[in-house]
Structure 1
Amino acid sequence: MIIKNCRGYELEKEMPNTSEDFFNRSEVTIVSKKAEKTFYVLYVRYFEDVFRERNAFLFEGTGLCIKDVMALICIIQNEALLERKRLYINTEEEFLMYLQGIDLRAAIEWIPDINRNQTLKLSEVVQKLKTPIHKE
């Protein structure tokens, strides 16, 4: 599987009585078996804001956010999600669960390369971004 594109964005209100402006959407496009598929993750922006405040050191000097890589991270953590089209994360605990064991700074810094090259293998990205779990 080849990662073709990875990006995120903040939703905007389409109608005045909706709450879309409280959400982020992340997407990753993967080419597999000559078929192209885009996977979407939607979550409450507050989860990312709180995480950023608690872990500001991860984001210093980068213009990127978790929303840019969240869909990729979800696929890395659970490749079976590729059988679905979208995922909605509705609790902060679930949001944090997907971030566990991921080198988030490397993921954020790698996004420009992924989008520029469009030829990186998912297995290669998994190997680089998954942090080893040490058991004592």
Structure 2
Amino acid sequence: MLIKGSSGYELQKEKPNTSEDFFNRSELVIEENGKERVFHVLYLRYFEENIQEFTPFQQNPIFNAGTRDVELKDIVALACFIKHPEYRNRKRVYIKEPAEFSFCFEGLDVDKLIGFFQKLEENKSSVLQSPLEFIKN
């Protein structure tokens, strides 16, 4: 499976009576069997505001990959995709529970994640052989 991009952004209010400004969206661009698709994860911004409580990271940006400052919202979709093989055929996931969000980061090999993003920045794509390669033994 070829990963062509991993990014995230904060949602903005479109109308005064909506709650978009409480959410972030993380996206993973995937090419598989010659078809490109986007996997989206919508999650509460609260998790990012309290990054130390829910992830192994201390602050944003969490690391640098080439000239890019990688923030938590840039890796959430990738982390969910790695930890939840059942998401492989889904287009969208919504995470509102703290335990579910934290699970996406439990046991992740941060050094391998950083290496993956380095390749992604250098080559504009990176091959994801097996999600298991990102899990610590």
After TM superposition, is the score higher than 0.5? yes
Offset of residue 78 of structure 1: 1.6
Larger proportion of strand: 2
**Structure 2 SS opposite 1:69:** helix
Offset of residue 130 of structure 1: 2.0
List per-residue Cα deviations over 1:57-89 (Å, max 9, x = no partner): 785664322110110111111222121110000
User: Which of 66, 69, 79 is matched with 2:85 structurally?
Assistant: 79
The within-5 A match list for 1:38-53 is 38-52=38-52
Offset of residue 52 of structure 1: 3.7
Offset of residue 92 of structure 1: 0.9
In the aligned structure 1, how far is the partner of 2:100 from the partner of 2:12?
Answer: 23
In the aligned structure 2, how far is the partner of 1:66 from the partner of 1:30?
Answer: 19
In the aligned structure 2, how far is the partner of 1:78 from the partner of 1:60?
Answer: 22
Contact 2:26-2:42 at 8 Å conserved across structures: yes
List per-residue Cα deviations over 1:18-70 (Å, max 9, x = no partner): 11011110000111111111100000011122124784278566432211011
Shift in alpha-carbon separation, 1:122–1:95, aligned structure 2, 3 A: same
The Cα RMSD (Å) is 2.5
Contact 1:6-1:115 at 8 Å conserved across structures: no
Offset of residue 119 of structure 1: 3.5
TM-score, structure 1 normalization: 0.81
Shift in alpha-carbon separation, 1:76–1:36, aligned structure 2, 3 A: same
Q: Which sits farther off after the overlay, 52-61 or 80-89?
A: 52-61
The alignment-based identity, stated in percent, is 38
Equivalent pairs counted in the alignment come to 131
**Structure 2 SS opposite 1:99:** coil
Supply the AA of the counterpart residue of 2:38: T
Contact 1:69-1:111 at 8 Å conserved across structures: no
Partner of 2:58: 56
In the aligned structure 2, how far is the partner of 1:84 from the partner of 1:34?
Answer: 17
**Structure 2 SS opposite 1:12:** coil
Unmatched tracts of structure 1, length 5 or more: none
Unmatched tracts of structure 2, length 5 or more: none
**Structure 1 SS opposite 2:3:** strand
Contact 2:61-2:72 at 8 Å conserved across structures: no
